[in-house]
Structure 1
Amino acid sequence: MNRIKVFSPATVANVACGFDVIGLALDNPGDEIEMWLSSEPGIRIREIHGADLPLEPSKNVCGVALQALVKKLPDPLNAGFEMIIKKNIQPGSGIGSSAASAAGAVVAANILLGEPFPKKKLVRFAMEGERLASGSAHADNVAPAILGGFTLVRSYTPVDIVGLPTPPGLWVTVIHPQIEVKTSDAREILKHKVLMTDAIKQWGNVAALVAGLYRNDYGLIGRSLEDVIVEPVRSILIPAFQELKIKCKEAGALGGGISGSGPSVFMLSTSEEIARNVADVMNNIYQPLGLEYHIHVSTVNQEGVKVISR
């Protein structure tokens, strides 16, 4: 096999209280990457559809992530890859656009090479793409994109990723206002110090969210979806954010918050019916604002990057 095409999913990072440590993968939307081995050494991005992004590998998250993988090969100087990227996740959307590209590139390359690296090792390579995109090599998007489901980053030094269970029947509704919030800009407005009382509350919510996922305790999950550190600062960048949270919960959502650095907002629900009712509520709130937006209703992607064809 010397050619492959993969689907790389959008992701929700932070999942409210888990800033930089918890994420989940979606079944839609997602990027598509077609990659093939080349007899000519080096990495070449032939085409990019759906976004105006650089073809130069050192300036593209796919290229940078793949370069990190190639460096760990026994014969890196002779490795050759070419690819075509189809971006279905808009950059700056808050649902892991850069992560999907980086994750898809390293998974595709690993399969073409006969899978010399375990999936968790691929997370470290994909993080280098995130470093290029945002200035920070965070894993809360790339880990679920590669591994699927919910993931927890226990440590960054060294990188230690823990897979978490997904309760049955869990659905995600995401609204993406068509405004761009760059991750690097969203990080700049964060406070560098937090109150001990806020930190204690946040730790409790993170621990309870993990416990809720293991116990299939939807009530506990809902009570844990509270961010007292990051959301109060970032929410001012998102139109009608507080109204979204209140009315979506009234419609039956367990709760939710800002997806990644925004502007997307996610809500978790216990059934497709509730998730689609939540989508209707989001639509009713945003339609009068005169702002373009997209709404995605999805199950949790348990597989991560998927092979479309080979």
Structure 2
Amino acid sequence: MKSIKVFAPATVANVSCGYDVLGFAVHTPGDEVVMHLNDSKQVSLDVIEGDEGRLPRNPLQNTVSAVVINYLKHLGVEQGVSIELYKKMPFGSGLGSSSASAVAGLVGINELMGGRLSREELLPFAMEGERLACGNAHADNVAPALLGGLVLIRSYHPLDVVKLPVPEGLSCALLYPHVEIPTKEARRILKDRIHISDAVTQWGNVAGLVAGFCTGNLDLIGRSMEDVIIEPVRAMLIPYFYDMREIAIAHGALGFSISGSGPSVFALCKGEETARRVAKALENKLSSNGIGVNTYVSSINTDGPKVTALTAASH
């Protein structure tokens, strides 16, 4: 029986000022999917661990199996597939939990089917998985989870995705405070009108951030990590957000912001040592105020998903 095990990484979407158009992958945490081919001609979701019973067991409603069903339908293939999903990351965290599951499933089935589609060609399937999970087919989590590195979504119609260079020595401190902010709620509270002056500031910061990554200018990256449109609204939902920003910068971070829709926060830093120092200081701030926290330190993951085991069919 042909089988595969795939790890897909968590992601930091928006990267401060790049709402819905920027995101990068990290090395940890992430989700793991194990997939076996069989003769049933059905896609089944046989095991889910780590979700505390919160995810749907119906293959048509769960992100990981739904994208596999759509992929096989696209190929015109009737193939039996048994799926096991091992959630290794928190829900509603702003770390791209649903996108990691979808990407791991897509990479797994594509490998088992002989790699018929490129990673770029898998992206629309992953985006539809996001639509199923949170009602919006955005790509700022699934694109970096699938392609690795820092990704710019230049356009959604038509889809135009650009993988940007990542400077050496850049490290990320990532913290998930144990408070839940559903993505739908975090999108609902956003304003639908903004001042032109705020838009101009935001455009300058997005351009500066992209330029900083492309030229390896870490100080420019730090100066450009300012979001005047989304962050001020969402920061209200995150305990001690502005205190944490002050702490992060005081301990050497280049910049600090919200990961995705929150409540996770991240700080980009020069080097792993600084990132660990920042992460520890932020963890101490939350813990001392009675808030549980998961802490991760990672460089930017330029590879994306990883096949960790592949077993050929026996004869």
TM range (shorter): over 0.9
Aligned to 1:222: 222
Aligned to 2:313: none
CA distance in 2, matches of 1:47, 1:90: 18
Worse-matched range after superposition: 34-43 or 265-274: 34-43
Cα offsets for 1:205-243 (capped at 9, x unmatched): 111111100100001000111111100000000000001
Aligned to 1:69: 71
- The yes-or-no answer on 1:201 pairing with 2:207 is no
Aligned to 2:179: 179
- The yes-or-no answer on 1:256 pairing with 2:269 is no
Aligned to 2:276: 276
CA distance in 1, matches of 2:256, 2:117: 34
Aligned to 1:150: 150
Count of residues in correspondence between the two structures: 308
Cα offsets for 1:46-101 (capped at 9, x unmatched): 0100002112111111122222212210x23x122211000011110110000100
Report the TM-score, using the length of structure 1 for normalisation.
0.97
Q: Given residue 69 of structure 1, which amino acid in structure 2 is its aligned partner?
A: Y
CA distance in 1, matches of 2:159, 2:44: 29
Aligned to 2:23: 23
CA distance in 1, matches of 2:66, 2:193: 32
CA distance in 2, matches of 1:64, 1:248: 39
Instruction: Show structure 1 runs of 4+ deviating over 6 A.
Output: none
CA distance in 2, matches of 1:68, 1:243: 45
Report the TM-score, using the length of structure 2 for normalisation.
0.96
Secondary structure of the residue aligned to 2:60 is helix
Aligned to 2:59: 57
Cα offsets for 1:174-215 (capped at 9, x unmatched): 110111111111000000111111111111111111110010
Q: Given residue 68 of structure 1, which amino acid in structure 2 is its aligned partner?
A: N
- For residues 287-306 of structure 1, the aligned pairs below 5 Å read 287-306=287-306
In structure 2, list runs of 5 or more residues that go unmatched. 311-315
CA contact (8 A) 1:68 1:128 kept: no
- For residues 65-214 of structure 1, the aligned pairs below 5 Å read 65-73=67-75, 75-76=76-77, 78-214=78-214
In structure 1, list runs of 5 or more residues that go unmatched. none
CA distance in 2, matches of 1:194, 1:304: 34
CA contact (8 A) 1:15 1:256 kept: no
- Of all paired residues, the percent bearing the same amino acid is 48
Secondary structure of the residue aligned to 2:6 is strand
CA distance in 2, matches of 1:39, 1:161: 37
CA contact (8 A) 1:65 1:127 kept: no
